[in-house]
Structure 1
Amino acid sequence: MSRLTADVLKAALPASLYYHRALPAMPPPRHPAWVDGGLCPFHDDQHRGNFRVNLDSGAYCCFSCGAKGGDILAFHRQRHGLTFPGAIADLAERFLFNGGRDE
């Protein structure tokens, strides 16, 4: 089996799909690009509006704790404590190779 690259993974897994599954409490977006991501998963957040995600690029930013990254791989790595190759493998397993069921 050929090695899955980050670019191939990000092309196959839209940021909007990833964030809707990874952040089930995220309110429905009213527009594309930067949206309210719900409560920040990186600290004990109590106030909506601090955590934002970009549904186009996959970038994320918390204005309270400072967590930020440029794409879904960075988010997945930070949230689950994975290496870069580990995040690619985990995302592929969760979203691409199991029929889209994030289990």
Structure 2
Amino acid sequence: MKSFVRTPQNIKSNISPVDFFRAELSTMQSPRGNGWCNGGICPFHSDKRAGSFRVNLETGAFICYSCGTKGRDIIAFIQKRDGLSFTEAVQKLTNEWGL
């Protein structure tokens, strides 16, 4: 059996942004199609109201129009939220998603 190579491409091809954000953002609204959607409460600052945090269900990109935090994929999300290096974030996603 061939072992899984931990690369950003493998992470992105095996973890759907829709599934990732559903698991990570308990206040995310139900997505309607692909593209940008309301991600709910921003996990990067003391947000009390949903609406300023958006996620892209095709690419995994995210942005908060209130605090300014943004990133281009789910790896960047884990890095910023958990204060991890790129390598640590890839390792965490690999372990948590059973890759």
TM superposition score category, shorter chain reference: over 0.9
Task: Give the CA deviation at 1:66.
Answer: 0.1
Identity %: 39
Q: Calculate the aligned-residue CA RMSD, in Å.
A: 1.2
Runs of 4+ in 1 over 6 A off after TM superposition: none
How many angstroms apart in 2 are the aligned matches of 1:60 and 1:51?
7
* AA at the equivalent of 1:58: G
1:92 maps onto 2:56 in alignment: no
How many angstroms apart in 1 are the aligned matches of 2:35 and 2:98?
23
Matches within 5 A, 1:54-65: 54-65=56-67
How many pairs does the alignment contain? Answer: 97
| TM-score normalised per structure 2 | 0.92
| TM-score normalised per structure 1 | 0.89
Note the residue ranges of structure 1 that are not aligned, 5 or more in a row: 98-103
Match for 1:30 among 32, 47, 68?
32
Note the residue ranges of structure 2 that are not aligned, 5 or more in a row: none
Task: Give the CA deviation at 1:2.
Answer: 5.6
Q: Match of 1:71?
A: 73
Match for 1:80 among 79, 82, 86?
82
